[in-house]
Amino acid sequence: MSSLTVPSVYKKRKSYTWLYFLLPSIAIMLVFFIYPILLTFFYSFTNLALTGEAAKELKFVGIDNYIRMFHDPTVRVSIWNTLIFLIGSAVIGQQVLGFIIALLMKHKNRLFRRVIGTIVLAGWVTPEIVCALCLYSFFGDEGTLNAILSFVGISDVTWLYTVPMLTVILANIWHGTAFSMLVFQAALDDVPTEIEEAAVVDGASRLQILCRITIPYIKDTILTNMMLVTLQTLGVFGLIYAMTGGGPGTSTTTLPIFMYNQAFVNYQLGYGTAISLLLLLLGIVLSLFYIRSMKEQ
């Protein structure tokens, strides 16, 4: 294969030609992507605000924003909410449900696979605001869920008020599971059937085959997928914002919602940035794990 070796013509080119090709995209990424990341670190140490005294003059306030964060009970609540949302909707919800669907679908009737697969995929393809609307009306006071439950004698439950976190978690599961399902379908197809067949001959139960052969075999995929799904879920804003607005109270206020409220509702951009730095650092750590797992594969 000629494409595996770099032919001599390429080597002869001047060593800086590549710069012209890369310059436009690097420039635009530097200005609108890397620079804002650096600004995040910078602004989080300032009193940047949209209104009031602080708006007139930008001042360094050292780690004041971080001290404030440390004492702010809402920060603790939103970190906690973010964790619940991440674990509930990403790690357990999308990941486990996606795996179960992929596993159960294996070797099933083709038409049946197609129908179920399409339904699950539809939630993934649908834009997040439409997802929010669909699930909002599903869990609404006069929504579909209550209409169904009234048949079995359970009268109106105000899902969005009594269990708001559960509703946004389920909404995110509805929106995101297809991604994990696709990833696991591809991974499960790669597990050689011979190994599983050999295990059956040796008298292994289904559960044993799953835990001792299938899952260890796709371990890397599970880890990489977990990182990706967690990263995607970390940045979820529109879905929660449109469904509950972070409420009632602060019950569904995750870090992105809290960041938004501080920066754009209370006009405390500096403080809002300090919170987004928390998100960014979490994202950076997870991304580093992600590229490490990709490098190994």
Partner 1 sequence: MNAKQRKLIYRILPYLILTVIGICFLLPLLWVLVASVDSNALQSLKMPTRFTGANYGDVMTNGENQRAFLIGLVMSLGQAVIVVILGLLAAYPLSRYQMKYKKPFMLTILFMTSLPITAVMVPVYQLFLSLKLYNNIFGVILFYVASSMPYGIWMLKNFMDSVPNDMEEAAWVDGASVFTGIRKVVAPLMIPGICTVAIFTFSGSWGNFFVPYILLQSPENFPASLKLYQFFGQYGMADYGKLAAFSVLYALPSVVLYILSQQFMSKGFGLQGGTKG
Closer Cβ to partner 1, 150 or 162, answer by number: 150
Rg over CA atoms, the chain: 24
DSSP-based helix, strand, coil % in the chain, nearest 5: 75, 0, 20
3-state secondary structure of 60: strand
Closer Cβ to partner 1, 246 or 256, answer by number: 256
Smallest separation (angstroms) from partner 1 to the CB of 219: 20
Closer Cβ to partner 1, 116 or 199, answer by number: 116
Closer Cβ to partner 1, 164 or 272, answer by number: 272
Closer Cβ to partner 1, 71 or 295, answer by number: 295
Contact 243, 167 (CB under 8 A): yes
Smallest separation (angstroms) from partner 1 to the CB of 134: 4
Smallest separation (angstroms) from partner 1 to the CB of 185: 13
Smallest separation (angstroms) from partner 1 to the CB of 251: 20
Smallest separation (angstroms) from partner 1 to the CB of 137: 5
One-letter amino acid at 277 equals L
- In residues, how long is the chain? 297
**Peptide linkage before 248 cis (omega within 30 of 0):** yes
Closer Cβ to partner 1, 218 or 257, answer by number: 257
Contact 200, 212 (CB under 8 A): no
Instruction: In whole angstroms, give the CA distance from residue 276 to residue 256.
Output: 7
In the structure encoding, which two tokens stand for residue 5, read together?
A: 């070796």
Instruction: In whole angstroms, give the CA distance from residue 172 to residue 248.
Output: 18
Instruction: In whole angstroms, give the CA distance from residue 191 to residue 221.
Output: 12
Smallest separation (angstroms) from partner 1 to the CB of 68: 16
